[in-house]
Amino acid sequence: MKEYQDNNWDRYYQKNWNTGKNSLPITKIIMNNAKKNEKGFYVGLGTGRNAIPLMDGGWDLYTSDISKVCISRMCEAFPQYQERMKRGELLDVYKKVEQFDYAVCSKVLVYDSKINTVNSLKKLKLRIKKDGDLFFEFPAIGTDIWSNWIDYSMTINGSLIVKYGENSASKLYLSFPDLCSVMEQAGFKMIKAPISVDLPRTNFPGGIVRDWVGVAKSM
């Protein structure tokens, strides 16, 4: 994916490594639904705001991130989880675990278009057992966009695609119908109706970040 080749996340984390953020609502959903004796694949570790509380709580999670900076900082800060924090994407990590019982996708794998998002979720599906759960938290339409956008478009179902910089990939804010069709096309069936959650846009007081949070099953 473009993001991986461009090292955008490495550049971002070199300037903004913020470990003080609260866990997202997805963490509670996982705590209430995933069994501790099952193996979970967490894609896109980031600063660990969701994955660390889960691992501390005893959930058997294996995390990946494409960013070298992220993985080296996280391994340094949490050496006890080194074996559970690998640099890589979807198919190139934890090859000994053929399929996980469930996967977690928080603010990751939603790319600049529906088709790229479907394709990345299809790849993730290969790592989950049939009937395994996908816990997700994805960017939703209704989020207050940053004011420095340079271009935008809208899908027929009302998702917004916003370009923020010439050299960065556009961001897709999913509408409810597009979220459902992306999931279905990637081979997942919604089992807990997605709900929208609003979080404060901390660097843009008054603004909101809206996400879809839910659980889907791999068909």
Least distance CB 156 / ligand SAM (angstroms): 26
* Residue nearest ligand SAM, CB atom distance: 46
Binders of ligand SAM among residues 151 to 190 (CB under 6 A) are none
Q: For the stretch 84-121, what's the b/e string if a residue is b when 16 or more beta carbons lie within 10 angstroms of its beta carbon? A: bbbbebbeebbeeeeebbbbbbbbbbbbbbbebbbbbb
Selected binder of ligand SAM within 62, 89, 100, 214 (CB under 6 A): 89
211 interacts with ligand SAM by CB under 6 A: no
Least distance CB 104 / ligand SAM (angstroms): 8
The Cα–Cα gap between 52 and 16 comes to 19
How distant, in Å, are the alpha carbons of 127, 139, 145 from that of 118?
A: 15, 15, 23
Nearest 5°: the CA angle 56, 60, 64 is 90
Contact pattern for ligand SAM over residues 92 through 131, marking x by CB under 6 A: --------------xxx-----------------------
Least distance CB 9 / ligand SAM (angstroms): 3
The Cα–Cα gap between 162 and 128 comes to 31
Selected binder of ligand SAM within 29, 54, 67, 218 (CB under 6 A): 67
Least distance CB 31 / ligand SAM (angstroms): 15
Contact pattern for ligand SAM over residues 13 through 52, marking x by CB under 6 A: -----------x------------------xx-x--xx--
Least distance CB 37 / ligand SAM (angstroms): 23
Residues that bind ligand SAM (CB under 6 A): 1, 3, 9, 24, 43-44, 46, 49-50, 64-67, 70, 89-90, 106-108
